Amino acid sequence: MMRQPPKISICRLDHEHDRTYTENLVEYLNAQDVCCNDVCISSADERPELQQCLDDEPTAIVGYNSYLDRSRLSRGSFLAAAQARKVPVIHWILDHPSSRWSEFIWSTCANSRFLFNTRYAEQYFLRYCLPGALTSVMGGVGRSRHSRVAALSQASFLNRPVRCVAPLSLKRAAGTIEQTQAAIAALENGLGAAVRAAVSTARFDLTRPLEVHLVAALGKSASTIDNRTFNSCFTLVEECVQTFRRLRIFEIARQYPVLIQSDSSAVPYMQYAKATFAADVGMQETLLRMPLCRSVLSVSPLNDMIHDRTMNALNAGCVAIVEDNLAHRGLLRHGENALLFRYEDDSLRECLDIVCHQPERAFAIAEAGMKLRDDPRFGSGGFHNVIGLALRPATIRQSYEEAAVS
């Protein structure tokens, strides 16, 4: 008897980020002969459309972050109904799990499985969030067909009107800079000191998981905290580190004829800048703009992550200007197919000088980088894991220690 292909339902909100991620995943699954449904769900927690998902008897149902955890059907919890029907529910956590896990209410090792963008995020989750859960790694959300150019010539590259675009949000998930600082100040003295010490040592670290800095700081202070408190403290560390890095980029990039895209909280840092500033530009607009740019400057929230902005930069024939982090060091060569920078020196100035003032050299780098765009590691290299996780027997449990070794 011929085996039926897997059938996966992907549930999303009607938001451009979700639409883009789902489009990438559907494109991949269709190419693998996997039947998939793109299901737009209500923004309210009561989502009767999920009943139809269950009635279709899928192999698995995938949702982003905590959407499916909080979903209700007319007769109660969606997770409970899915578990009763033995339909695996997969939560793809798009951000660092420390900032998202507090949103989850009903997920357990028995009724849920989890996807992460990087191995560091997965290991963090298995240590500090839900040990023993079934998990896998996607390697990012993939590149979009909307950024792709058919070909690249020196003439077309030099005619691009934007020398560099830097799409970097300043406001973080926990709020503004002021809100994050206030949250740290409200911690009791030992915890507040540990968070500040971790931020100080983590901000220049582009290699290790950043939580090691909070673990070390807590060890020095002899503080013992539960995982819930650790998550909330690490979220503050991560927010501060990301804010520091973005402000450092703004400090340098504002001196060059580049386009900086951010949220309105960045406006005060753009006064009297040589750079052009655009507020609250959407993802789709940014993707369509990339083929008009010579370079794209991006950062990654985890040191072992290649951001989708970098994937799309290569897809659009742009010079990828990226952090000299663990993920990039193994795949990109500075000055050959990308430009790599750090935060404690003048390397970012050198990168911007090349793309702004040395167009022929920039073209050679962009041309070499574009050859990498179809390498699976810059696209959907880990997308097969959503199929593997959907089909994995529910009796298998992977501990944090096993995940760390693998």
CATH number of the domain residue 259 falls in = 3.40.50
SS3 53: helix
Same domain, 355 and 265: yes
Same domain, 126 and 176: no
Same domain, 167 and 309: yes
Residue 1 lies in a domain: no
Give the domain CATH number at 75: 3.40.50.2300
CA dihedral (355, 264, 206, 143) in degrees, to 10, reads -70
Which DSSP category does 198 fall into? H
pTM of the model: 0.93
Distances in whole angstroms, Cα of residue 35 to Cα of each of 21, 24, 32, 59: 17, 14, 9, 10
Domain residues for the domain of 106 are: 7-142+381-405
The owner of tokens 């859960």 is 133
CA dihedral (299, 304, 309, 310) in degrees, to 10, reads 100
Same domain, 363 and 401: no
Q: What is the pLDDT along the chain (406 residues), one digit of tens a residue?
A: 446 789 999 999 999 999 999 999 999 999 999 999 999 999 998 999 999 999 999 999 999 999 999 999 998 999 999 999 999 999 999 999 999 999 999 999 999 999 999 999 999 999 999 999 999 999 999 999 999 999 999 999 999 999 999 999 998 876 788 889 999 999 988 899 999 999 999 999 999 999 999 999 999 877 779 999 999 999 999 999 999 999 999 999 999 999 999 999 999 999 999 999 999 999 999 999 999 999 999 999 999 999 999 999 999 999 999 999 999 998 999 999 999 999 999 999 999 999 999 999 999 999 999 999 999 888 888 999 999 999 999 865 544 334 444 3
How deeply is 102 buried, as exposed, middle or buried, from its count of CB atoms within 10 A (0-12, 13-18, 19+)? middle
Same domain, 72 and 203: no
Same domain, 268 and 304: yes
How many CA within 13 A on the CB side of residue 59?
18
Structure tokens, 285: 């607009």
**Total domain count, the chain:** 2
